[in-house]
Structures are given as C-alpha cells and as structure tokens.
C-alpha cells in the first residue's frame, strides 16, 4: 500500500468528521434548543464546533503535505527534495548536538543565578505595581529583570 493513499484516506476522513461534527452542532442548537450565541470562552471543551475546527486544521495540514508528492515530479524541486531527504540523518545529528549545548548552557546559567531567586522574591513581594515616579526603578526590576529569577 502506497503511503500517499494512507495520507489521502486520513485527510478525507478528517474532512468527513469535520462535516459530521458541524451537522451535530446544528442539530444540537435546533433540536435541543442549546444557546446559539454564547461567548466562545464559555463553551464546553468538547463542543462539536471546537473539535471540528481542530480536525479541519489537521486535515488542512495533511492537504498541504500532499504537495510533497507533486514536488517530486518537478525538475527543479524533485532533486532538491531527494537531497534533503538524504540529509535528514545529518540534520538530526546536528540538532542533537545543538540541544546538548543548549541544555549545558541552561544548567550553567541555572547554577550561576540560583541565589537570586530569593533576592527577587524578597525585594518584589511588597512592591505595589504602580507607575509612580519614585518607585520606577524597583518597578522596572520587578517587572522585567527580576522575572527571570523567580521561585
């Protein structure tokens, strides 16, 4: 079985589920008299419209990935795609080394600045966050620099 057929099947299934969930939402509003106009922040997390929007977004991602199949036919993009496919292992090795370096620096900075977490907490706990001119320096510290050294 070709991988592109599986991709098409998943994409079409997601689009069909999107349509079905939209129909369910319309039926719930019309048949069960659920509120049609409600602030989106108050919706249930499993509302059919929200789920259908998520599935629609995922289906659109699969539809865009379908362009990779078209690129292999192109005389300009086909060889580029093949060479990038062969470089994936090298790119992954590079990102592993890059991630190790980033984690090492994060550990180093954490070791350098651990002491200042309590300093920031003690200095900023009683500061009213207002823009009065006499508190401006402390306010700037507590809102910007001091945020990096929190408990």
Contact assessment for residue 27 and residue 36, using Cβ atoms and an 8 Å cutoff: no
Q: What percent of the chain has pLDDT over 90?
A: 38
Say which range, 35-49, 94-108, 135-149, has the weakest mean pLDDT: 135-149
- Burial track 5-26 (b if 16+ CB lie within 10 A, e otherwise): eebeeebeebbebbeebbeebe
What is Dmax (Cα atoms) for the chain?
Answer: 72
Better-predicted residue by pLDDT, 98 or 146: 98
What is the tens place of the pLDDT at every residue in 47-98? Answer: 899 999 999 999 999 999 888 888 888 888 888 888 988 999 999 999 999 9
For residues 36 and 61, the model is more confident at: 61
Strands (E) in 1-151, as ranges, are: none
- Compute the distance between CA of residue 102 and CA of residue 82 in angstroms, rounded to an integer: 30
| Model pTM score | 0.57
What local confidence, expressed as pLDDT, does residue 40 receive?
78
CB 120 within 8 A of CB 142: yes
């Amino acid at each position: 079985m070709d991988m592109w057929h599986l991709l098409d099947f998943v994409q079409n299934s997601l689009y069909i589920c999107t349509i079905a969930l939209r129909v369910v939402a319309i039926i719930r509003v019309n048949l069960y008299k659920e509120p049609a106009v409600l602030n989106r922040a108050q919706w249930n997390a499993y509302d059919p419209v929200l789920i259908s929007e998520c599935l629609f977004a995922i289906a659109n991602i699969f539809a865009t990935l379908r362009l990779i199949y078209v690129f292999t036919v192109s005389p300009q993009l086909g060889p580029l795609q093949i060479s990038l496919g062969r470089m994936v292992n090298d790119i992954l090795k590079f990102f592993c080394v890059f991630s190790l370096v980033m984690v090492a620096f994060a550990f180093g900075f954490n070791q350098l600045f651990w002491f200042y977490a309590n300093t920031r907490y003690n200095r900023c706990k009683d500061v009213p966050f207002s823009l009065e001119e006499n508190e401006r320096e402390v306010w700037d510290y507590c809102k910007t620099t001091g945020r990096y050294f929190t408990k």
